[in-house]
Amino acid sequence: MTQFDLTDEQRQIQEMARQFTADAITPHAAEWDEKYIFPRDVIRQAAELGFGAIYVSEESGGIGLGRLEAALVMEAMAYGDPSTSAFISIHNMSAWMIDRFGSAAVKAKYLPALVTMEAMASYCLTEPGSGSDAAALKTKAVRDGEYYVVSGSKAFISGGGENELYVTMVRTSDDGAKGISCLVIEKDMPGVSFGAQERKLGWHSQPTAQVNFDEVRVPVENLVGGEGEGFRIAMAGLDGGRINIGACSLGGGQRCLDESVAYTKDRKQFGQAIADFQATQFTLADMETELQAARTLLYAAAVKVSDNAPDKTRFAAMAKRLATDTGSSVVDRALQLHGGYGYLMDYPIERFWRDLRVHSILEGTNQIMRVIIARDMLRQ
C-alpha cells in the first residue's frame, strides 16, 4: 500500500465484501434488528469467504491477511449492518489470539472450527465491576493438577449464550495485571451458565449476555500463552479490535451519508430540493470531509498494527477514537437531514444511529483512548 491508495488485491477484497453485503446482509438487516434475529447462517456464509479468520495465519487455516484488509471487510459489511459486522470482528479477534499466542495443542483443538465459524468465539474481559479498569478483574482460576478451576462472571459479552467458545481473561495470581492469564472455555463445560439476554439500545442482531463460571474445570492445555501473560494478550487483541470497530463506524457513517445525499436531492421544500440549499451542502461537505479524514487515519493505523510498529497502540487508539466519534456524528447529522422521516424505522438512519452509539464505549471507551494516547506522548 502506498500512503494514499489501496493495492489491486485490497480493492478486490473490498469489492468481494461489498458484494456479499449487498446480497446477504443489507436486504435483511432491518428485519434482524426489529425481530432480534441472530443471523448465524449468514455469518457462516461470510466465513466461507474467509471472513471468519481474516488475519489467522494460512498455516492454521485462515487467509492470513493484514489488519488493513480486515478493516476493509468490516467497513464494507457495516455498510449493511454494523451489529453483524462487529460480531464477526470480535470472533476474528478471538481466533487471532488463539493463533498468535496459543500452543500447537490449543490451536489444533479449536482453530479448524473457528475458521469455518462452525464454532464461534467470544472475547471475555469486562466484568460487572471491572470495565475500563480491566486489570482489576476478579474472575479466578486456581490450578488443580491438570485443570484450572474457574469462578467468576464476565459482563456485556457479545455472543454470550450462543457462542461455543469463550476466550477468557482470568486471575491466576494477585499480582495485578501480571497475575492475569488467558483460557479458552467451552460453552458446555459443567459450571458455565449465562444471564438473560441484555435489552440493548442497538446491536439487536447479535446476542449479548453475562457469562458465569462456577468452579468450571478447564484443562491446563487450554491456556493461551503463559501464566501471567493474559493482560498483554488481551491488549494485543484490542489493538486490532479497535481498528475493526472504527471501521464499522466508518461503514455505518458512509451508508448514512450516501442515504442523505440521495434523500436531500429528492426531498423538496420551498419549491426546490433541499440539496440545493447551501446549509445542506455545507453539512454534507463536512460529513464527507470528516469521514475521509477518519478513514485515512484508520487505514494508516491498521498498517502499523500489521507491521507491529512501535507506535501501533497509540495509532490504534487515535483511529478508534476519531472513527467512532465521527461515525456517530455523521449519522446524527444524517438523521437531522432526514427530518421526521429519519426518526422512523421505515428508513435505515435510526438503526445506524442506535448501532453506532456503543462503538465509543466498547473496545475501550473513547476517554480511555485519550489516556492511552496522552500517556504514550508523555512517555517519550
Residues 98-119 pLDDT 10s: 999 999 999 999 999 999 999 9
pTM for the whole thing?
Answer: 0.96
Band (3; pLDDT cuts 50, 70, 90): low
Q: Residue 169 in contact with residue 125, Cβ under 8 Å?
A: yes
Q: Residue 206 in contact with residue 87, Cβ under 8 Å?
A: yes
Q: What is the mean pLDDT of residues 166-192?
A: 97
The H or E element spanning position 144 is strand 140-144
**What per-residue confidence (pLDDT) applies to 380?**
73
Residues 206-225 pLDDT 10s: 999 999 999 999 999 999 99
Residue bearing cell 450516501 = 258
363 is an active site residue: yes
| Averaged confidence pLDDT in the chain | 97
Q: Residue 195 in contact with residue 160, Cβ under 8 Å?
A: yes
Kindly state the percentage of the chain with pLDDT values over 90: 98
DSSP assignment string, 326-379: HHHHHHHHHHHHHGGGGGSTTSSHHHHHHHHHGGGTTTS-HHHHHHHHHHHHHH
Beta bridge partners, 165, equal 121, 186
For residue 1, is pLDDT > 80? no
Q: What is the mean pLDDT of residues 364-378?
A: 97
**What per-residue confidence (pLDDT) applies to 2?**
54
Catalytic residue of the set 75, 162, 350, 363 = 363
Residues near 23 by beta carbon (within 8 Å), at least 6 away in sequence: none
Give the three cell numbers for residue 341.
422521516
Q: What is the mean pLDDT of residues 263-278?
A: 98
